[in-house]
Amino acid sequence: MPPQSPFPGKQQQLPVTTGLLSSGGWCRQCRRDHSLTSGAAEQACQDLMAQLDRHQRIDLQVASDLADPRCSTAALFAEAGGKMFGVLTCRDAGGNLVVLRAFSGQYNGLWQVPGWVGPVCDPVIFQRLTAPVEARIKVLGQQLACLPDHSRQRLLLRRQRRNLSRHLMGAIHDLYHLVNFRGEQASLSEIFSDRGMPPAGTGDCCAPKLLHHAARNGLQPEGLAEIYYGRPNTSATRQHGHLYAACDEKCRPILGFMLCGLS
């Protein structure tokens, strides 16, 4: 079994923060920045980390004898590295506290795990769209490996594979329809219309998942924070147990739209 932390036998010393981590972005409709501070979500992230340390799996709502091996946290401390987990503290229509949790991307091939906010895009529709195109791209890659370098046929197949990949990415971006707190919807393609192609994985980070879920379910966000859990990434920009705001590359360009209408 993996250690509960990189320092087994010692209590985790989490970074002290102020509750003022800020996530947000520029809204083209309002011509202004919208942002959300971390607030109580920082403590909620640390509570989540304590649970992950204790149970060493993310399917926390499932009895231990029914736990899915794919939900173990062991892989997060292996060579592949850790993952971002996010928390959004909200209030429902009755003023009751609601705490939402999300993990970035997929977890060991899983898009959905009980107790966690699911993806923005329907995984079934996503798979139906991507599977046949990815299979074709794979075949083209195998054919390319058998052709001489710089041959005309190789160049044509490379161009065909590149075009397939580009069209597939555009179709994926059109599947992601984000909702903001004015009740408006926009696809990734629409939000990035004057910014070029969205980076791969845009919309799959914790913050978009959490805010999309809150907006669709009439919840009023109060705090947003993310915590990195596991082995540091290769660039050492993410450290185990550290709290972070939403990322600049993928999230900032869409959070301005998503936070619009939040009082």
Report residue 256's pLDDT band, with 50, 70 and 90 as the boundaries.
Answer: very high
Q: Given a cut of 50, is residue 246 above it in pLDDT?
A: yes
Count of beta carbons in the 10 Å neighbourhood of residue 122: 12
- Percent helix, strand and coil across the chain, each rounded to 5? 35, 20, 45
**pLDDT tens digits, one per residue of 201-229:** 999 999 999 999 999 999 999 999 999 99
Number of compact structural domains in the chain: 2
Domain termination residue (choose one: 151, 175, 199): 175
Q: What is the pLDDT of residue 133?
A: 96
Query: Average pLDDT over the chain, rounded to whole?
Result: 91
Task: Classify residue 186: in a domain, yes or no.
Answer: yes
Instruction: Please tell me the predicted confidence (pLDDT) of residue 178.
Output: 96
Residue 15 has pLDDT above 70, yes or no: no
Quick check: is 2 in a domain? no
CA distance linking residue 13 with residue 241, whole number of Å: 8
Whether 39 and 113 map to the same domain: the answer is: yes
231/142 same-domain check: no
Instruction: Measure the N-to-C terminal CA separation of the chain; round to a whole number of Å.
Output: 45
- At 60-93, the pLDDT tens digits run 999 999 999 999 999 999 998 999 999 999 999 9
Distance of CA 17 to the CA centre of its chain: 22
Residues 117, 129 share a domain = no
pLDDT value, residue 10: 35
DSSP 138-201: HHHHHHHHTSPTT-HHHHHHHHHHHHHHHHHHHHHHHH-EEE-TTS-EEEHHHHTTTT-SPPTT
Say if residue 187 is in the same domain as residue 252.
Answer: yes
Burial of 48 (C-beta count, 10 Å sphere; 0-12/13-18/19+): buried
Shared domain for 145 and 160, answered yes or no, is yes
111 plus 147 within the same structural domain: no
pLDDT of residue 18: 60
Per the structure, the complete domain to which residue 136 belongs is given by 124-175
Largest CA distance in the chain: 68
In this structure, is residue 105 part of a structural domain?
A: yes
Does pLDDT of 119 surpass 50?
yes
Nearest to 102 by CA among 90, 92, 87, 81: 87
